[in-house]
Structure 1
Amino acid sequence: MKRIVLVLIGLFSFSLMGQSENITTQLFDSYDNYKENSIGKRRIKRADIQPLIDKYSNYKKFKVNKVGTSIGGKDLSLISIGTGETNVFLWSQMHGDEPTATQAIFDILNFFDSSDFKTEKDAILANLTVHFLPMLNPDGAELFQRRNLLGIDINRDALRLQSPESQTLKRVRDSLDADFGFNLHDQSTYYNAERTEKPATISYLAPAYNYEKDINETRGNAMKIIVFMNDILQKYAPGQVGRYNDDFEPRAFGDNIQKWGTSTILIESGGYAEDIEKQEIRKLNYTSILSAIYTIAKKSYEAISIDEYEKIPENDRKLFDLKITGATYNLMGNTFTIDLGINQVEVDYPDHNSFWYSSRVLDQGDLSTYYGYETVDASGYTIKQAKAYPTTLNTFEEVKALNFKDILKQGYGYVPMSTIPLKQVNSPFPVHLIGKKYTVPELNLMPGINPTFFLEKDGKIEYAIINGFLVNLKESIINVPNGMIFR
């Protein structure tokens, strides 16, 4: 009899997991119906989401309340939906330059506002009340910076509660006495899943609530939800999930919210190939978070084993934007074999609405344990100095008229100009612009320099690296978003 009961329980659990898998597929496939297209770039600001918040404040099914104010005077709003006894609390962008989940929250709100998925939504909203606090750090978002105007990391302010944003988060969590919490962040795109070349597109953590890293029911439930979400993501981003180190951080909100009795799931949105604005990762957030909310409503997570949590690969940080391996480098009359790790570093324009690139060599030497979003085997190629074009040009129109592929093939990476407008902060061309008195320094490869050089084989230049971007000169496309200006 006992065996029959266990089999029935197993079949029931399998049935619920099957239901969750089914809704996940439907959510992923229908995502474009719910995507909030008005916020399609990463550098979103409070003014961008205010009309969306206002919209939901006019709908009866949603409750919208101002719950606080940032140091800079910007409103902090809580958007709630549902009538269930179980409270699920999601907050995003406590770091101002981490907006991916904020965008996904408004996609999720569009889902709840639609007439689709009626059966699933009825189950969610009858069993749960779901609360969203998007953009906890609107002042940081305005400047696209991690910290708030006090200059502190809100996620290290759970004890002192120095900033009003921290006070708001604590007060809302306590007033809801939330059963589940989703702490939504972005992480560096240079994290990879441990010992693989795959980026950690999404990373998870069920934060520890003490130094001993004990697992009670609260933390165990968070682990079960993470196992569930990882299974979902393996379908759409196989091998691209990481797990954060769970050392206890007594100042962090995630660790403390876990300690205060809310099953807390940290989600970090990392990198995905050719997804600069993280819109594919946004879709993965939408799909996995909504699926997790559904499994909480159905309680199907309860049957999941937490043993699977530790099997998720740990986060590592061994990715470069461009990795060049085995290149020949001549220095002081000697020949060396060298690997280069290059990152394409974003620099914000003054309005913090968009950016340009000022790339850097991050590391060099033996990089055999590192990986690249793009990797070039440069065995048999020699690194060559980039030269200055022999003619000084007067206008941008003259520069634009150059055949860039031809001049790159000749080894020219710099173009001198008689006058460069002071307001111009970078070169809009796949070459660097230099002042007429500027002398191109001798190439001395070191971490920190701007990576601009050529790869030559059998006396022929086949690749250009301009501002850290690779140009295959055997192909017609030159994909260099911008060069530098050296006056």
Structure 2
Amino acid sequence: MKLTVLLFSIISFSMCNSSKDSTQEFSSAHSLDTTQLNEAFEQYKEKELYHRRFKHQTIEALLKTHAQKNVLTVTQIGNSVQGRSINEVTFGTGDKKVMLWSQMHGDEPTATMALFDLFNFLEGENDEFQAVRDLLKEKLELHFIPMLNPDGAEIYNRRNAQSIDLNRDGRKRQTIEGKLLRDRAEAVKPQYGFNLHDQNIYYNVPETKNPVTISLLAPAFNEERDVNDVRGGAMKIIVGMNRILQQYVPDAVAKYDDTFSPRGFGDNFQMLGASTVLIESGGLKGDPEKQEIRRLNFAIILNALIEIAEGSYQKYDAEDYNAIPFNASQLHDVVIRNVEIGSDSIPLRTDVGIRRSEFTINTDYFVRGRIEDLGDMEDNYGYDEVDGTGLKLIVAKVSPQIVDSAQNLTIDQSLDLLRKGFMAVKVKQVGPSKENKLHQLPLLFFTQNQFFPTTEITLGGTANFFLGDESGQLKYAIVNGYVIDLSKKDKAIWKNVVF
């Protein structure tokens, strides 16, 4: 009799599947819209994390504070090569086990910030989000490892202290940190995994100049990139994430390369039976410290956890995952189009691509711009683009003024010097520490070293020059790879250094 009832129930459910709208099958009683997600983020954003180059000591201090509140359980699960603690944060007593790990690459910190925002959220009480917390606590068992590679984070470096890429150690687990992550996975046996990374800012959505702000992936578990229930579940979770993201950053989402990587942790978690989602934080113009992208991480991770807890992610069609395009790589910081860069004897009118490299000094950084590409760049894009038609290179001059330090000049004074054709200023001293060399002015400062302006555009060469018309009227300054429209009062932040 019981068997008969069970079979009838299954048949009835199948019939309902064919006749009901899929959104009704797995309704969400706790879903948050973007307004509510924004409210949660602003209320629980971790104020101690406000730039990308925070160190292990900041994370450790925050974890000690969280441990004292007795809502989250904080456990040291090991040490890095250089002896820094690696910690796991747990929450919830449910049957569905979820592992989330961030910063296995030390210079990929965006999701770490978002996890600490989520920790604050989980510790909240008696507000409009209490039902969500209760749901997550009852249905999920969450395991977070918020900084797997503290040694890399200390110097803002991708690899660990032994120069090993931890995300290529998923198979052999030769590193302390890689073995630790795999050991925790085997102990926890999660049904779901979140592999949290940053990708470079030069990926774009194919056929557009839109930077990929968030890239997603359900990693393959075999060479054939087959789809089983485990990987299919990850695809459905991603469809739900993309639904939220399109409301924040329309047409700025793509998929990461899904080539099977037997060394990769995401691929290995998928093989272990955990529906695993890769989140890559990319680029967003005007967000150099990725604080808005941090907001997006918070929103999509929280939303995904709610949908996992309810099972409501099952309402999505995994085929919609395939509609998300793969990353293209056609972006530069600056593209100058159709500009004259030849000589009087051999003219050349072409396109110029510029990229800026970052150099870390403690918790700050500076950049150096270089010529990344020359030639036909019609299929490439820039965060900033300049129409160089009718313009040519004009060599920058050194100001006759000598200042005590970069702090003696304001932005307005700096822009005034640029409009007069002066790009470099000599300073008498920069102070005792490396930090004193940093400044945020659109000029090149130098001390004893001689300033060498860009006299010709060459591949790999510097990007310090003016663009002007045939009469010599200056239109744009290209300072260390930043483009400055001299007709405007630019309020951008430049990250420069005294040479």
SS state of the match for residue 447, structure 1? coil
SS state of the match for residue 402, structure 2? coil
2:337 matched to which residue of 1?
A: 325
Of 360, 368, 393, the match for 2:402: 393
Tell me the CA shift for residue 406 of structure 1.
3.8
After superposition, what is the alpha-carbon deviation per residue over 1:98-135, rounded to whole angstroms, capped at 9, x for unaligned? 11111100111111111131222222221111111110
Of 197, 201, 215, the match for 1:203: 215
Tell me the CA shift for residue 415 of structure 1.
3.2
Output the TM-score relative to the length of structure 2: 0.90
| Residues 65, 47 of structure 1: alpha-carbon distance in 2 compared, 3 angstrom cutoff | same
2:461 matched to which residue of 1?
A: 449
Q: 2:59 matched to 1:49?
A: yes
1:251 matched to which residue of 2?
A: 263
| Residues 276, 427 of structure 1: alpha-carbon distance in 2 compared, 3 angstrom cutoff | closer
Counterpart residue identity of residue 108, structure 1: L
Counterpart residue identity of residue 339, structure 2: A
Tell me the CA shift for residue 338 of structure 1.
1.7
Q: 2:63 matched to 1:33?
A: no
After superposition, what is the alpha-carbon deviation per residue over 1:379-438, rounded to whole angstroms, capped at 9, x for unaligned? 12122121233x363633797389433432232223356777796646664332356783
Of 218, 226, 230, the match for 2:238: 226
Contact 2:396 2:454 in 1 (8 A): no
Contact 1:222 1:265 in 2 (8 A): yes
| Residues 33, 406 of structure 1: alpha-carbon distance in 2 compared, 3 angstrom cutoff | closer
SS state of the match for residue 265, structure 1? strand
Counterpart residue identity of residue 393, structure 1: I
Q: 2:483 matched to 1:474?
A: no
Contact 2:205 2:251 in 1 (8 A): yes
| Residues 385, 97 of structure 1: alpha-carbon distance in 2 compared, 3 angstrom cutoff | same
Q: 2:362 matched to 1:360?
A: no
| Residues 189, 237 of structure 1: alpha-carbon distance in 2 compared, 3 angstrom cutoff | same
Regions of 4+ moved over 4 Å = 1-5, 416-429, 434-437, 482-486
Counterpart residue identity of residue 252, structure 1: G
Of 53, 72, 75, the match for 1:62: 72
Structure 2 CA distance, aligned partners of 1:140 and 1:437? 32
Structure 1 CA distance, aligned partners of 2:78 and 2:262? 24
Of 61, 83, 90, the match for 2:93: 83
Contact 1:408 1:464 in 2 (8 A): yes
Q: 2:148 matched to 1:158?
A: no
SS state of the match for residue 185, structure 1? strand
Tell me the CA shift for residue 334 of structure 1.
2.6
Contact 2:215 2:282 in 1 (8 A): yes
| Residues 5, 181 of structure 1: alpha-carbon distance in 2 compared, 3 angstrom cutoff | closer
Output the TM-score relative to the length of structure 1: 0.92
SS state of the match for residue 359, structure 1? strand
Q: 2:107 matched to 1:97?
A: yes
Contact 2:110 2:290 in 1 (8 A): yes
Q: Map of 1:325-474 to 2, 5 A cutoff?
A: 325-349=337-361, 352-389=362-399, 391=400, 393=402, 395-396=404-405, 400=409, 403-416=413-426, 425=437, 429-434=441-446, 438=450, 440=452, 443-459=455-471, 460-474=473-487
Structure 2 CA distance, aligned partners of 1:179 and 1:7? 30
| Residues 76, 399 of structure 1: alpha-carbon distance in 2 compared, 3 angstrom cutoff | closer
Contact 1:467 1:482 in 2 (8 A): no
Structure 1 CA distance, aligned partners of 2:415 and 2:68? 56
Counterpart residue identity of residue 411, structure 1: G
After superposition, what is the alpha-carbon deviation per residue over 1:62-89, rounded to whole angstroms, capped at 9, x for unaligned? 2222111111111111111111111011
Count of aligned pairs: 481
Structure 2 CA distance, aligned partners of 1:256 and 1:221? 16
Tell me the CA shift for residue 53 of structure 1.
1.2
SS state of the match for residue 349, structure 2? strand
Counterpart residue identity of residue 189, structure 2: D
After superposition, what is the alpha-carbon deviation per residue over 1:152-208, rounded to whole angstroms, capped at 9, x for unaligned? 001111122111111110011111100000000011111111221111111011111
Structure 2 CA distance, aligned partners of 1:270 and 1:11? 30
Tell me the CA shift for residue 442 of structure 1.
6.2
2:7 matched to which residue of 1?
A: none
SS state of the match for residue 96, structure 1? coil
Of 265, 268, 271, the match for 2:277: 265
Q: 2:147 matched to 1:135?
A: yes
Tell me the CA shift for residue 21 of structure 1.
5.1
Contact 1:469 1:479 in 2 (8 A): no
After superposition, what is the alpha-carbon deviation per residue over 1:302-327, rounded to whole angstroms, capped at 9, x for unaligned? 12111111110111111111221111
Of 189, 193, 205, the match for 2:205: 193
Counterpart residue identity of residue 402, structure 2: L
| Residues 197, 429 of structure 1: alpha-carbon distance in 2 compared, 3 angstrom cutoff | closer
| Residues 217, 468 of structure 1: alpha-carbon distance in 2 compared, 3 angstrom cutoff | same
Counterpart residue identity of residue 98, structure 2: V
Q: 2:73 matched to 1:73?
A: no
Structure 1 CA distance, aligned partners of 2:290 and 2:189? 32
RMSD (Å) for aligned C-alpha atoms? 2.4
2:302 matched to which residue of 1?
A: 290
Structure 2 CA distance, aligned partners of 1:72 and 1:232? 39
Tell me the CA shift for residue 333 of structure 1.
2.0
Tell me the CA shift for residue 143 of structure 1.
0.9
Counterpart residue identity of residue 463, structure 1: Y
Structure 2 CA distance, aligned partners of 1:246 and 1:253? 13
Tell me the CA shift for residue 10 of structure 1.
3.0
Counterpart residue identity of residue 283, structure 1: R
SS state of the match for residue 334, structure 1? coil
SS state of the match for residue 345, structure 1? strand
Q: Percent identity?
A: 38
Contact 1:455 1:461 in 2 (8 A): yes
Tell me the CA shift for residue 235 of structure 1.
0.3
Contact 1:409 1:473 in 2 (8 A): yes
SS state of the match for residue 303, structure 2? helix
| Residues 279, 426 of structure 1: alpha-carbon distance in 2 compared, 3 angstrom cutoff | closer
Structure 2: runs of 5 or more not aligned? 1-11
Tell me the CA shift for residue 485 of structure 1.
4.8
Pick which of 477-486 and 30-39 moved more.
Answer: 477-486
Contact 1:388 1:440 in 2 (8 A): no
2:326 matched to which residue of 1?
A: 314
2:312 matched to which residue of 1?
A: 300
Structure 1: runs of 5 or more not aligned? none
| Residues 27, 211 of structure 1: alpha-carbon distance in 2 compared, 3 angstrom cutoff | same
